[in-house]
Structure 1
Amino acid sequence: MADYRLKGLSCANCARELEEAIQKLPNGEEAKIYFNTSKLSVPDQVDMQNVTRILAADGASLVLEDGQEEIGEQAAQRMPNWKLSLLISVLLFSIGLIAEGSIPGAAVFIIYLAAAGISGYHTFLKGLKNLARFKFTIDTLMTVALIGAFSIGEWREGTLVAILFGLNEYLEGLGMEKARRSMESLLKVAPKEAVRLENGQEHVVPIASLRAGDYVLVKSGEKIPSDGKVIKGHSSVNEAAITGESMPVDKLEGEKVFGGSVNNEGVLVIEIEKAYQDSSLAKILHLVEEAQETKTPTELFINQFAKYYTPAVMMISVIVMVGPPLVAGGLWSEWFYQGLAVLIVGCPCALILSSPIAIVSGITRNARNGILIKGGVYLEQLGQIETIAFDKTGTLTKGKPNVEKTYVYYPDLFYKVAGAIEKNSSHPLARAVLDEVSQKESHLPEAEDITTIPGQGVKARVFNQMYYIGNESGLESLLLSQSAKDDMASLKESGYTLVAVSSDKEVLGLFGIRDEIRPESKELISKLNKARVKSTVMLTGDHEKTAEKVAESIGLTHYYAGLLPDEKVEKVRELSRLSKTAMVGDGINDAPALATADLGIAMGKGTDSAIETADIVLMQDHLGKLPEAISISRQVNKIIKFNIAFALGIKIFALLLTIPGWLTLWIAILSDMGATIIVTLISLTVLIEKKQEKNSVH
């Protein structure tokens, strides 16, 4: 498949028709036009001269990815220059108005015809072709209206219709282009070239040629070409392109880096771990680009509605033209004029644009914030969410056990024995104990005869004596003091995981370990409540007391503890039956629950599993920007509803003016143009970021 950018693509319906025409070419079945990103993907076997011919007939042309004109140059030259055409048309129209009554009527007719032709010839030619094929589109409606207006002597109004419709198309294209440019600025974060190191020599190469194992040199201010790890150097790196976070992240030797992030200072030597097309950035940009083209249920409905709407308007127009003269003896010329006005009111421009620009703007704005939404349908659903279910470990908590409380009865032995036994273990609880011990003891003795006791802990010989470290079940043979019993009960009551250190006679001390709650979790839940999320729920496999303490400390509505993976899935299914539910997890262990929920939201800082599993991916390692994403989605949904109601409402109002016979051609075109402009401008407000929103939870 070859990819091309398209020029002159301003109408979603036209894009669909062009796509269908190209698909009818030999080997063209898989051709695809992405209207929102103005892109054409076409199989290599397709004759591009035929593609150019089809595009040229609709005023579009092909350009290469780098923006250089390719085989569509001639077509580009034939494309109308909207600004110049409109200016000339307005000038001629003004001359015609001034000259009326002072020069012959034929001359005035020619001036008006020239003004209408310069502004509307493109629409007129397409409309004639469609009319010949009995294909009823916006262009068909305008062509019939123009022919009708000039045929009954309404030259002035016919010309005004042509000019206003040309202006309408220009502004419509401008609005779509604004949304596209916003998206393109996002896509430009991908670097084009890299400096590859080979045998000590530097070679500038395209990033597409990089392979895993290559070494690249990244200087200050340059973009890292693909995912990898730092081999040499130290610098701070701006990862905003991936995570949406503006604060730089320090990178030392051995640490991972993302392609597309920017080296702030110093020089880094990076070992590439993934070819660019497999990198996090490439996957993000590809998914964001694809997301522009997915149709929401609202858009699909509008597209279906528009198919029947236009022919229906033509039918109503005919009834208006012939009904009153036949039934009530009205004047044919008067009602023919009213029928032409109905045709213009019937243009579904504003209706068709009511959704796509808002959707593109919403997906783009979220992507800037490091929130990857895989399609308009998920953006729409996010704005409808009433319940959010969270996994606990790694989502509301840091996923790293931490010693938060200790009871020490024998300080000379407690830390030394615990450190000696745990220093060779990779268990998460052992690492937490070792982190705590390292702050108290710099030199640890060696442990011998290490024996693991399943379900309890570890025994080992330290200082020629046997010691035990593990849970309370390994202490059953000991005679515990009342103080030790009380301390153990206190730790369990507070939701800590208990780790005891003992000899074969008595307890040396206790560690109270808990998965540390993320500092932003409490504020996050508060902001979700303000965003009108009715219920926040935690699902965890931890025991009841731990879950209860976490839920209380951050203000969750409900929690469910002791859940196995299949029970977690069943609980998500149960919540989804009650209300629209999103599940938030880390994208690895929670894949079944993410897939079961109405909406799966993964946080994974660019991990492959997170990108592939969920409908929405938070590229940060926290949930701080989730409330803003919900707010943006709700804003998009509100705008779409308003746009549809406004577009239909203004048309109904204009059509009602036909009853007393007040509808004129210029009122009709102004109502259609006004609706289109307002719908476009309101949709673009989604791209505006408020200053206070930048101070999101971190």
Structure 2
Amino acid sequence: MSSSEQHAHKHDHDHDHDHSSCGLGDHKEQAVPFAASAAAAVYRIQGMDCSSCAKSLEKHMRTLAAVKEVNVNFSTGKMHIVEEGLGKEAVMQEVSKAGYTASPLAKRMGAKEASADRTGTQLTILSGILLLLGIIGSFTSVPEAVTISLWALAIVTGGYKPARSAFYAIKSGSLDMNVLMSAAAIGAAAIGEWLEGATVVWLFSVGNMLQARSIEKTRDSIRNLMDLAPSEAWVKTGDSLTRKQVEEIQVGEIIVVKPGEKIPLDGEVLVGTSSVNQAPITGESIPVDKTAGDVIFAGTVNESGALEVKVTHLVEDTAISRIIHLVEEAQEKKAPTQAFVDKFAEIYTPIVLVLAMLVIVFPPLFSFGTWGEWFYKGLELLVVACPCALVISTPVAIVSAIGNAARHGVLIKGGAFLEKAGAIQAIAFDKTGTLTEGKPEVKEVLTTAGESEEQMLRIARTVEEQAKHPIAQAIVTYAQKRGFAPLAGNDYRAIVGKGAEAVIAGETYYVGKPALFAELGVSTADWEDSIQKLQEEGHSLIVVGTAKRIIGLIAVADTIREITVRAIQRLKADGIREIVMLTGDNAGTARKVADQTGVSRFQAELLPEQKVEAVKSMQQKGQVVAMVGDGMNDAPALATADLGIAMGGAGTDTAMETADIVLMADNLEKLPHTVKLSRKALRIIKQNIWFSIIIKLAALILIFPGWLTLWLAVVSDTGAALIVILNSMRLLRFKDS
């Protein structure tokens, strides 16, 4: 068994020391995107309004010999590029050629970047004015040549950027909306439909402008979190304070945070006591008390006392920076629905293009109408050929939902996990540290007649001192408070899921569950009444002894979180069919916790591998199962479940990097919100897909009776895309009532 498996359950009294690795979520898609390459420069790309734009830009950049690798992601609006000899200016120039604007990503996430290029907006406004003047002129005695000239200028000004993008798309072998729309505008002009052509170009430009701004708003929803962290901090050197940029502050320096100020960097409190609002990181609504030795995070608010803080992370490594990085990485991963839609679009577009060519050529050949009439119908088909609304239906919804979750202290690690969260029917919970506080206390100590309580606790402390597990720590703390020092021990060994052993003064001592001593053949008959009574009262029992005799018994109990009870009630109200508690603890303790929390049922005295079997048995009933644990442990069960949810990610790098979903706070407060948000996202994605398909079908049907005009075709395409985007953006404002 691997170290991560041995370490699977902190409450199973498993004393493996190795916390350095965890198999959490290893079964899931954990591929590190190319975006993470250390050698890649990252640029923010503005002006992309469809995923085909990203593909076209990517293909264009790949035509350059100096570009070794490039990845353009529409969802996050970022380009990752590995190049040799081009330089930033040349990269930005090449992106500009393709019709988009690039700006290097700032080192400090959230720092001001290059402002957006507003040339496209200005050209759209000018195109609209020229179109309007032409229309006014057509109702007056102005010569026709003047009105046609105004419409031609409207086509040139409004269509300049799309035409430039279309040129580079064709050059790189892509067929995007810019190509199709440019062909439609040129075709309209060629058959003398100047007003139609100008209207098409202007509507397309307006649609693009609105789409781009809306999508940028969804992308900024996460990046704006960084505005919470100040750009400067008070650094203490000796007795003096100096104001410094956060980028210049090194790990180990001392910063001073005054009452009411935002905390600029992650650190550890050295001096002072205060209440800190951690909502930007954990989503917790109630401020948390902080004192010397406690960890604080950048972007949180110091509400009362002044604090002296030792910096523990550079500005680019703070928890909030890592959150943004992980969220943007998650937004770049395609959900199954998105992958399917993209595949469908790849097939749909060429089919409609071929159909457009056939419509232009064959009907007039067989005398079913004039060339001009069928050429116009072919142009309409060209416009309808690009399924922009369909392709955009899923990624914008996913970006919005993941962004909303992050602002509420929940990290969803990709679209696939968002979809899975919306489909869960059953949830299995770890007990200690998940449903309970995870801070057990020694409630009672019993010793065998003639044995010293002090000696027994010194032995227990010696065996438990190397373990990180909460029950072990509770015993060590109890012994420390009474001034009972550890003994000289060696040959420490963890016994998976049962306890631990060590050699003290030449004799092997065991500390663990009653079951461990039953296996050793040590009779617990004299203790049965005490064991039964304490377990029925909800205590976890730890026996101390050798392979021949029992020295004593330690009763430990944990407390239920109030938030846990409320969260489980809300999950039940939201229709989660089955809520199960899986624990390695005794049945008495498990029953008491189950009664207090309201879980549907529980399974007690489980070893790590038995928890895996419990999850599998739930899956065999046809249920989509989520497993909730503390992030550092429960690896096998979390990995087996359809969705692994870790708690307490704010203070745990491992949880942030390995779980499918991370609740940043060390409680279940935001789990119901996550389930509701995911379900809402699934509903919106389905709405978007069906709406997009119906609009396209309607447009296709209306072409052949001649009821669809070219400008209506444009409205049906760009308008549908805009409606889909706005519908998806509702997820940004979603609140769990």
TM over 0.5: yes
1:496 maps onto 2:539 in alignment = yes
- 2-structure distance, mates of 1:668, 1:571: 55
- 2-structure distance, mates of 1:136, 1:498: 69
Work out which of the residue numbers 81, 84, 93 in structure 2 matches 1:53: 93
Task: Give the C-alpha shift of residue 420 in structure 1.
Answer: 9.7
- 2-structure distance, mates of 1:279, 1:621: 18
- 2-structure distance, mates of 1:447, 1:29: 62
Task: Give the C-alpha shift of residue 381 in structure 1.
Answer: 1.6
Task: Give the C-alpha shift of residue 564 in structure 1.
Answer: 1.4
Match of 1:588 in 2: 632
- 1-structure distance, mates of 2:300, 2:485: 45
Task: Give the C-alpha shift of residue 652 in structure 1.
Answer: 0.3
Match of 1:466 in 2: none
- TM-score for the superposition, normalised by structure 1: 0.83
1:440-466: per-residue Cα shift (whole Å, max 9, x none)?
xx9x89999999xx9999xxxxxxxxx
Match of 1:681 in 2: 726
- TM-score for the superposition, normalised by structure 2: 0.79
- 1-structure distance, mates of 2:486, 2:134: 104
Task: Give the C-alpha shift of residue 211 in structure 1.
Answer: 4.1
Is the Cα contact below 8 Å between 2:246 and 2:315 reproduced in 1? Answer: yes
Change (3 A) 1:492 1:135: closer
SS at match of 2:662: strand
**Which structure has the greater CA radius of gyration?**
1
Task: Give the C-alpha shift of residue 433 in structure 1.
Answer: 8.6
- 2-structure distance, mates of 1:477, 1:244: 50
Task: Give the C-alpha shift of residue 209 in structure 1.
Answer: 4.5
SS at match of 1:399: coil
- 2-structure distance, mates of 1:192, 1:421: 55
Match of 1:527 in 2: 570
1:550 maps onto 2:589 in alignment = no
Change (3 A) 1:220 1:489: closer
Is the Cα contact below 8 Å between 1:420 and 1:447 reproduced in 2? Answer: no
1:121-144: per-residue Cα shift (whole Å, max 9, x none)?
221333355456764221111112
Task: Give the C-alpha shift of residue 583 in structure 1.
Answer: 1.4
- 2-structure distance, mates of 1:62, 1:125: 16
Moved more, 208-217 or 351-360: 208-217
Match of 2:126 in 1: 88
Task: Give the C-alpha shift of residue 380 in structure 1.
Answer: 1.8
The amino acid of 1:295's aligned partner reads: K
Work out which of the residue numbers 440, 447, 460 in structure 2 matches 1:401: 440
Is the Cα contact below 8 Å between 2:408 and 2:670 reproduced in 1? Answer: yes
SS at match of 1:37: coil
Change (3 A) 1:305 1:430: closer
1:487-544: per-residue Cα shift (whole Å, max 9, x none)?
764443454345899xxxxxxx998643222222233222222223222222211123
Match of 2:675 in 1: 630
Match of 2:549 in 1: none
Change (3 A) 1:282 1:479: closer
1:17-67: per-residue Cα shift (whole Å, max 9, x none)?
223333443453234334333333434744134312321112323335244
- 1-structure distance, mates of 2:500, 2:588: 20
Work out which of the residue numbers 71, 87, 100 in structure 2 matches 1:32: 71
- 2-structure distance, mates of 1:68, 1:436: 54
Task: Give the C-alpha shift of residue 270 in structure 1.
Answer: 1.3
Moved more, 615-624 or 128-137: 128-137
1:143 maps onto 2:151 in alignment = no
Moved more, 620-629 or 240-249: 240-249
1:540 maps onto 2:583 in alignment = yes
The amino acid of 1:310's aligned partner reads: T
Is the Cα contact below 8 Å between 2:458 and 2:485 reproduced in 1? Answer: no
Is the Cα contact below 8 Å between 1:116 and 1:158 reproduced in 2? Answer: yes
Structure 2 unaligned regions, length at least 5: 1-39, 465-469, 494-498, 502-510, 545-551
Is the Cα contact below 8 Å between 1:152 and 1:333 reproduced in 2? Answer: yes
The amino acid of 1:623's aligned partner reads: L
- 2-structure distance, mates of 1:97, 1:479: 100
Match of 2:397 in 1: 358
1:315-356: per-residue Cα shift (whole Å, max 9, x none)?
111222234333462233222222211221222221121111
Moved more, 668-677 or 96-105: 96-105
1:62-85: per-residue Cα shift (whole Å, max 9, x none)?
335244659xx9xx5xx6341x33
Task: Give the C-alpha shift of residue 164 in structure 1.
Answer: 1.0
Moved more, 191-200 or 299-308: 191-200
The amino acid of 1:171's aligned partner reads: L
Q: Please report the RMSD computed on the Cα atoms of aligned residues, expressed in angstroms.
A: 4.1
The amino acid of 1:329's aligned partner reads: F
Query: Number of matched residues?
Result: 662
Task: Give the C-alpha shift of residue 636 in structure 1.
Answer: 1.0
Moved more, 38-47 or 649-658: 38-47
Task: Give the C-alpha shift of residue 219 in structure 1.
Answer: 2.4
SS at match of 1:383: helix
Work out which of the residue numbers 601, 606, 619 in structure 2 matches 1:563: 606
1:187-233: per-residue Cα shift (whole Å, max 9, x none)?
33344343333344434444345444332222233333433321112
Match of 1:309 in 2: 348
Structure 2 counterparts to residues 632-651 of structure 1, below 5 A: 632-651=677-696
- 2-structure distance, mates of 1:220, 1:263: 6
SS at match of 1:357: helix
The amino acid of 1:677's aligned partner reads: L
- 2-structure distance, mates of 1:106, 1:283: 60
Work out which of the residue numbers 376, 396, 407 in structure 2 matches 1:368: 407
1:218-258: per-residue Cα shift (whole Å, max 9, x none)?
22333334333211122221212221123221211222222
SS at match of 1:247: coil
The amino acid of 1:615's aligned partner reads: D
- 2-structure distance, mates of 1:349, 1:568: 46
Task: Give the C-alpha shift of residue 609 in structure 1.
Answer: 2.1
Is the Cα contact below 8 Å between 1:25 and 1:46 reproduced in 2? Answer: no
- 2-structure distance, mates of 1:117, 1:267: 61
- 1-structure distance, mates of 2:396, 2:232: 32
- 1-structure distance, mates of 2:578, 2:708: 51
**Greater RCO (Cα-Cα under 8 Å, separation 6 or more):** 2
Is the Cα contact below 8 Å between 1:389 and 1:536 reproduced in 2? Answer: yes
Work out which of the residue numbers 145, 150, 159 in structure 2 matches 1:111: 150
The amino acid of 1:669's aligned partner reads: V
Match of 1:229 in 2: 268
Structure 2 counterparts to residues 323-342 of structure 1, below 5 A: 323-327=362-366, 329-342=368-381
- 2-structure distance, mates of 1:445, 1:136: 77
SS at match of 1:94: helix
1:144-169: per-residue Cα shift (whole Å, max 9, x none)?
21122112222222211111111111
Change (3 A) 1:345 1:211: same
1:337-378: per-residue Cα shift (whole Å, max 9, x none)?
222112212222211211111111111110011101122222
Match of 2:705 in 1: 660
SS at match of 1:176: helix
Work out which of the residue numbers 585, 604, 626 in structure 1 matches 2:648: 604
Moved more, 228-237 or 316-325: 316-325
SS at match of 2:236: strand
Moved more, 28-37 or 389-398: 28-37
SS at match of 2:332: coil
- 2-structure distance, mates of 1:331, 1:471: 90
- 2-structure distance, mates of 1:600, 1:614: 6
Match of 2:13 in 1: none
The amino acid of 1:668's aligned partner reads: A
SS at match of 2:423: coil
- 1-structure distance, mates of 2:131, 2:472: 84
Is the Cα contact below 8 Å between 1:498 and 1:510 reproduced in 2? Answer: yes
Moved more, 139-148 or 616-625: 139-148
Match of 1:505 in 2: none
- 2-structure distance, mates of 1:338, 1:125: 25
Work out which of the residue numbers 137, 145, 160 in structure 2 matches 1:99: 137
Is the Cα contact below 8 Å between 2:283 and 2:670 reproduced in 1? Answer: no
Match of 2:661 in 1: 616
Change (3 A) 1:575 1:187: farther
